[in-house]
Amino acid sequence: MSGGPPISLEDALSNVDLLEELPLPDQQPCIEAAALSITYQPNFDTNFEDRTAFVTGIAKYTEEATVHSELNKLLDEGETYAVTLYTWRSCSRAMPAIKSNQQPNRVEIYQKFVEVMEPEVAKLVNFMYFQQRAIDVFCRDIKRLCHSERRKDFVSEAYLLTLGKLINMFAVLDALKNIKSSIRNDYAAYRRAAQFLRVMADPKTLKESQEVVMFLANNDQITNTLKQNIIKIECYEDLLCEIVNLCIDHFEGMHYVLPAEKHMLVKVIAFGLFLMDGKDLSIYKMDQKKKISLSRVDKVFKQLAVVPLYGDIQIPVFTYITKSENYANNKSVWTCDHAATPQYNIIERLPSLREEHAKYISALARHSNKEVTTAQKDTARSEKENVALYNLALQGLRLLSRWTSVLTELFSWKLIHPADKFSNPSLPEKAEEYERAIRYNYSSKEKFALIELVAMIKGLQVLMNRMEGVFVEAIRQTVYAEMQDFVQIVLRDPLRFAIKKKRV
């Protein structure tokens, strides 16, 4: 052995670690790809694709699942057309002006314009055929459910809500089509250019083009066509009453999480009443027969006079009532059209929002500290603790939804009610319309309140994201436990009774 100074264990270990940095070239190319992390996220929304696996199921429920799946596909397709209409910007205004028939580059301008617009025009043609097909499918399902032999059968809430979503889709698509005048201008410019270039020489193409022109030119074309078709169905109003009453119940019971779900319920209530009210059928007589409650509807419209239609486009929901057939003779029934709404008064609502925020942050911090202690002890949570976390997560999501709704609803209200000299004495005389709706329409206190509310939303979102893993596990455990209790305990006695009476 060498007689050198002794080496400590720590120095020896550090020398061994240095060996990892020693280059050892082997003249071989590195062909192995870098390792990638694997992320697995299950998607439980199968859109009823597994319905055929339940061979012992009752035929009518299998049929309902099939129809439900078809309606969901229509809703997805309708969403794509809503995006197309909402994001449409005028292309004809960018086309160079044709100053005379002798302009040398006239043909080239028209050719380029037709080439650019052809894919977009194809979307408009497909949109026209889609709304026809969607109305036919919707009316077919309404007719099937309103059949004398089917009226006694049970219709699930999920199915009724899906029909309500279709009603909302028709209202949104029609309103977007009415608002976007640039679509009509672009199609008119495309049609002129195509006729000049003789692209539309085919009689079938000419007829289709004329149908698109009439479809785009007539406002409320979708809703009017839907109403004309649906009133031909016997007892259609009974099913629409069920849909409207269900939406009222869900709104009053706050059976929603996202702001879009809340606003959808209000739009379905208003548009559903518009579809029912006509020459041969009055919603006011239906109110007298207790089929619907217009007083409950009036309270809903008092709470939410203006809702976002799509994106930053908004609509006063009471306009559907004013457009109905029998409104002029029954104005006294409604009080929401002239009642003061708390929707826009964020200053008065801010103290309660602060209190909600403080209480929830305290509860979240308590559970967060408890989870750290539980993780150190390496013990599983009890069922009671999972339920508490489940309720805490649901409460947090509802708070985020409610606060976001306050922002979007205030913004919608302000756009419908621009500033004037009475609300803002410092308003300039030459202020633009958009400036009156945005720039001069918020007081200093409202701006600070909006900033504080946005900070509350963002802060709570960050805190909940940190506990996402804990929440997800607790939610799955709670849903599983509640499902087992329902199947093995709640359903046990009814099933035994039904088997005894030979009803299954």
- Spell out the long-range contacts of 4-11 with Cβ–Cβ below 8 A and sequence spacing 24 or more: none
The DSSP code for 343 is G
pLDDT of residue 116: 86
Helices 259-276 and 383-416: angle between axes, nearest 10 degrees = 60
Which residues in 198-347 belong to E strands, given as ranges? Answer: 306-310, 313-316
Within 8 A by CB and 6+ apart from 212, the residues are 124, 125, 128, 187
For 126-156, letters b (16+ CB in 10 Å) and e give: ebbebbeebbebbbebbbebbeeeeeeeebe
Helices 236-252 and 106-145: angle between axes, nearest 10 degrees = 100
What is the widest separation between alpha-carbon atoms in the chain?
114
State the Cα–Cα distance between residues 146 and 377, nearest whole angstrom. 60
State the Cα–Cα distance between residues 460 and 357, nearest whole angstrom. 8
Tell me the backbone φ, ψ of residue 306, rounded to 5 degrees: -125, 130
Tell me the backbone φ, ψ of residue 411, rounded to 5 degrees: -60, -45
What's the Rg (C-alpha) of the chain?
A: 31
State the Cα–Cα distance between residues 167 and 273, nearest whole angstrom. 11
State the Cα–Cα distance between residues 313 and 6, nearest whole angstrom. 80
Identity of residue 154: F
Using alpha carbons, select from 234, 229, 270 the residue that is nearest to residue 251.
270
Local mean pLDDT, 10-residue blocks, the chain (504 residues): 69 79 66 53 60 57 77 91 90 78 79 86 91 92 79 78 91 90 87 80 82 88 90 86 92 89 92 87 86 89 86 86 85 74 78 91 84 62 87 92 89 84 81 83 88 90 86 90 90 83 63
